[in-house]
Structure 1
Amino acid sequence: MILGYARISTDDQNLDLQRDALLKAGCERVFEDTASGSKTERTGLAALLASLRKGDTVVIWRLDRLGRSLKDLIGLVERLDATGVGLRSVQENIDTVSIGGRLVFHLFGALAEFERNLIRERTQAGLSAARARGRKGGRKTRLDPAKREVALRLYRERKHTIAEICRMMGVGRSTLYNYITEADSRVLESA
């Protein structure tokens, strides 16, 4: 079967252009979503994927209508390929059933991996440079040492609830628990 998938991001947009192009491309059924590409839950796409059988072809108007990102698109194409389903894009004239179409997707995948590695390298270089200048990553501490001791004393006195201590000190529960854990570990180390 030849199945189509169309997606628009907002209710203000119209599916007619995509729907017409998919029907012209020979789609027997068109699955549709009105959802941002960044949304992971797309019921039309889920229904399409659930109905696919080996030998089917999914037709889309443009590649950006299918995947939320290049990585997501490549993952979907690999999933389709693993189940014996082809993908055809009307605007880009790409067909993964052909050798040339598969080559294009492998190139996309290689470029995406290259980009991820570049970003990782830049991030590591930036962190190393910051460390060399004496900068330390992470959030700044919420309480100075004196206020931290007050919070710990209030906790150990057991006269106030955790919520009350957090409210008095202006910190969240996880911050207070982190201070408690840190203080307890210092006590164990010194023992």
Structure 2
Amino acid sequence: MRQVHIDRGRSGYKHVTRKGFDAAKAALAAGVVGTLIVWKLDRLSRKGMGEIGLLLDQLDKAGGRLISVVDGLDSSKPNARLIMATLSELARAESKTLGERVGHAKQYLRGQGRWIGGQPRTG
């Protein structure tokens, strides 16, 4: 059975509810589906090895697998788990670094009394 789960506009880095991600994990754990296919691993999660490792453990227990199309990875293949763990940590670090850069830029612009972006004020 094919199911599509989408979390449009939901962060894979922040601690927010992701109904699509949760539904996909539940379908895998219940054996409703045997394979989770994602476009790219960093679109699935940016929380690092902790979250991806738990997901891979759940997949192993359920006899399922994770495929990342762009990364060319299939968790059923040798060494894929190690590569997925590394890529998940790189995605986590990238998100953290980007957040710090944006935060510093906004802090600087505020200090200069300049517009920091977003919806322009009216009036």
State the TM-score bracket (shorter-chain normalisation): 0.5 to 0.7
Equivalent positions of 1:113-124 (< 5 A) are none
**1:55·1:86 contact (CA, 8 Å) conserved in 2?**
no
Letter matched to residue 80 of structure 2: V
TM-superposed CA distance for 1:107, in Å, is 4.7
Matching residue within 39, 55, 59 for 2:15: 39
Structure with greater helix share of residues = 1
* Aligned-partner Cα distance in 2 for 1:70–1:64: 9
50-59 or 33-42, which deviates more: 50-59
**Map of 2:77 onto structure 1:** 98
Quick one: structure 1 residues 76 and 40, their matched pair in 2 at CA, closer, same or farther if it must change by over 3 Å?
farther
AA in 2 matched with 1:94 = L
| Structure 2: distance between partners of 1:87 and 1:76 | 9
TM-score in terms of structure 2 length: 0.56
Distance 1:47 1:104 in 2: 24
Q: Give distance in 2, aligned partners of 1:97 and 1:69.
A: 22
Q: CA deviation at 1:67?
A: 1.7
1:58-73, aligned counterparts within 5 Å?
58-71=36-49, 72-73=51-52
**1:54, distance to aligned residue in structure 2 (A):** 7.3
CA RMSD after TM alignment: 2.4
**Rg (Cα) greater in structure:** 1
Higher relative contact order (CA 8 A, sep 6+): 2
Q: Which runs of at least 4 in structure 1 moved beyond 2 Å after TM superposition?
A: 106-112
Provide TM-score, normalisation by structure 1: 0.38
Q: Corresponding residue for 2:34?
A: 56
Going from structure 1 to structure 2, the CA distance change for 1:40 and 1:80 (only over 3 Å counts) comes to farther
Q: Do the aligned residues in 1 keep the contact of 2:38 with 2:67 (CA within 8 Å)?
A: yes
8 Å contact from structure 1 (residues 80, 87) kept in 2? yes
Secondary structure of the 2:17 match is coil
Give ranges in structure 1 of 5+ residues lacking alignment: 2-27, 113-191
Cα distance between partner residues in 1 of 2:82 and 2:18: 25
Give the count of matched residue pairs: 83
> Contact (CA 8 Å) 1:54, 1:84: kept in 2 or not?
no
CA-CA distance at 1:81 after TM superposition: 1.7
